[in-house]
Amino acid sequence: MKTVQELFPELGDLSGTAKFCSFMNDAFDILNCNNLFSRVGFNLPLKNSTRAKLKERVQEIENYITKIETREAPTLVRKWPRKTGFVGIISCLRNIFPLFDKLRTWGARYFLTSKILQDHLENFFSAVRSRGGFSNNPTCRHFRRAYKRLLTHAEIVLSNNGNCLMNEIPILHCSGNSGLKVDSVLFEEDDENDCEPNEEDKDNFTAADLLSVHDYSRTTCLIAEGEYLHEVITYICGFITRKILKKITSAKLLHLN
Amino acid sequence: MVNLDSPPNLLKVWKKWNEPIGYVDMGPDVRSDNDTQNLAKECLVFMAVGITSRWKLPLGYFAIDSIGSEQQGNLLQTCFSLLYTIDVKTASLTLDGAASNISMCKFLGAKLDFHNEGFQPWFPHPEDTNERVYVFLDPCHMLKLVRNAHKMNVRLALRRSATAFIAR
């Protein structure tokens, strides 16, 4: 800005604009921290050790914004018709501290402010648009299919022309794959109840079947019946439950057990 | 611990689409006279994002033509309630700066009028009034709004050979 001012002295005093830019830069840095170890300027994660520094800067920014006035509207910016952006920034800046305190009571040691951006949703939309060829105007049907597809198989590939940068947060997903196949295999009782596939099955057995048949389905599991299977399944279930219980603290969910 | 994103966004749907699937659909729980009469133009999507853990999950979507702030607020409250019943703690809500969103925040109990004294950028959780839900107007959009406001003034400033913004 100083260089511009030297180049174009006829523009007058530009220090106001320079100051404005530096404040806005810091404001957005504070609200867009995605890295616990970031040390650039005010792009810091909210932690016990950085709280005071950030709080101080936020106070400066807030004081500055509330005092802005423009040539166009010589009233204070907060009464200006275009005030939304400024009010929004102030409310975000104010809210991160009580939110952090709340998270701290819930056991968090730091708070990455990029979590409150809307980028996550924008990325999702970008993924929806990219399904079945990029389309900026998906139809309802397109959206519905893409939505379900992304829910079951949630790996986002992003257009370079999208609204924002890729983040690497996966959508929580469950596998909806092959439910039908497993059911049909599991509940198809053989007459002799033995483990060998019968003649018909052998003939119709294709590579696709091999891929879709799981090792826990009856037709391929050699020791399908009896105590052994029971023990194995009990053991695995117990293991899974133990792992899940570590993650879930909810009293309600425990009660369900 | 969750942040809830909810813009009435952004998927414009072709008006020409003329099949049952292209109509306004608010789901079975919401009675709307507009259902199946108007063609949907937009899609309202709610998404939950983990704040202290690394996941995100779309919670649901509604095909809408346009939506009133109150109705949108009700849908959001349903979201909060459903999350509450499965013990997900909702700590904040992110929206963009559309006027309807701001009036929705008002409907939910937040006060975003900065020139008034009672500036209160949070509202009580619909299920547990002791908890606060903090409202964040998406910083990226806010930055854009600020830039647009600034751009206009820079032009003015260039014409008048004066500074864009003056801080007192």
Is the distance from CB of A221 to CB of A215 less than 8 angstroms?
yes
Interchain CB contact of B135 with A (< 8 Å): yes
Tokens found for residue B165: 């913004």
Residue A90 has pLDDT above 80, yes or no: yes
pLDDT value of position A194: 45
User: Of all residues in chain B, what percent carry a pLDDT higher than 70?
Assistant: 63
Residue A55 has pLDDT above 90, yes or no: yes
pLDDT value of position A54: 92
Contacts of B94 in chain A (CB under 8 A): 116-118
Interchain CB contact of B30 with A (< 8 Å): no
Contacts of A120 in chain B (CB under 8 A): 5, 47, 49, 56
Contacts of B14 in chain A (CB under 8 A): 137, 139
Scan residues 41-70 of A and list those with Cβ closer than 8 Å to B.
64, 66-70
Where do we find the tokens 């379900």? A148
Tokens found for residue B109: 């109990």
pLDDT value of position A167: 56
What does the alpha-carbon distance between residue B44 and residue B39 come to, in Å, rounded to a whole number? 14
**Taking all residues of chain A, what is their mean pLDDT, rounded to a whole number?**
71
Contact A117 B163 (CB under 8 A): no
Residue A176 has pLDDT above 60, yes or no: no
**Mean pLDDT confidence for B79-98:** 85
**Taking all residues of chain B, what is their mean pLDDT, rounded to a whole number?**
72
Contact B13 A252 (CB under 8 A): no
**Mean pLDDT confidence for B72-100:** 85
Tokens found for residue A92: 């975000």
Is the distance from CB of A67 to CB of A4 less than 8 angstroms?
no
Nearest to A106 among B1, B11, B150 (CB): B1
Contact A116 B132 (CB under 8 A): no
User: Of all residues in chain A, what percent carry a pLDDT higher than 90?
Assistant: 12
**Phi/psi of residue A95, each to 5°?**
-75, -25
The string of pLDDT tens digits covering residues B136-152 is 888 888 888 888 876 66
Higher pLDDT residue, B125 or B162? B125
**Mean pLDDT confidence for A68-75:** 61
Enumerate residues 6+ apart whose C-beta is below 8 A from B95: A118, B5, B6, B7, B101, B104, B105, B135, B136, B137, B138
Residue B100 has pLDDT above 50, yes or no: yes
**Mean pLDDT confidence for A159-168:** 55
The string of pLDDT tens digits covering residues A189-210 is 444 444 444 444 444 545 445 4
Higher pLDDT residue, B156 or B71? B71
pLDDT value of position B19: 40
What does the alpha-carbon distance between residue A99 and residue A93 come to, in Å, rounded to a whole number? 11
First to last CA, chain A: 64
The total number of residues written for chain A in this structure: 257
What does the alpha-carbon distance between residue A109 and residue B105 come to, in Å, rounded to a whole number? 29
Scan residues 19-38 of A and list those with Cβ closer than 8 Å to B.
19-20, 24, 27-28, 31-32
**Mean pLDDT confidence for A73-85:** 65
Is the distance from CB of A224 to CB of A195 less than 8 angstroms?
yes
Interchain CB contact of B36 with A (< 8 Å): no
Contacts of A102 in chain B (CB under 8 A): 91, 132
Interchain CB contact of B91 with A (< 8 Å): yes
Higher pLDDT residue, B29 or B76? B76
Contacts of B139 in chain A (CB under 8 A): 27-28, 31-32, 88-89, 92, 116-117
- The DSSP symbol for A9 reads G
Amino acid at B45: V
- The DSSP symbol for B24 reads -
Q: Which of B41-45, B65-69, B105-109 has the highest mean pLDDT?
A: B105-109
pLDDT value of position A181: 41
**Mean pLDDT confidence for B106-123:** 82
Interchain CB contact of A198 with B (< 8 Å): no
Contacts of A22 in chain B (CB under 8 A): none
How far is C-alpha B1 from the geometric centre of its chain's CA atoms?
19
What does the alpha-carbon distance between residue A189 and residue B70 come to, in Å, rounded to a whole number? 55
Residue A82's nearest CA partner among B97, B127, B88 is B97
The H or E element containing residue B4 is strand B2-5
DSSP codes joined into one string, B30-81: S--TTTTTSBP-EEEEEEEEESSSS-EEEEEEEEES---HHHHHHHHHHHHH
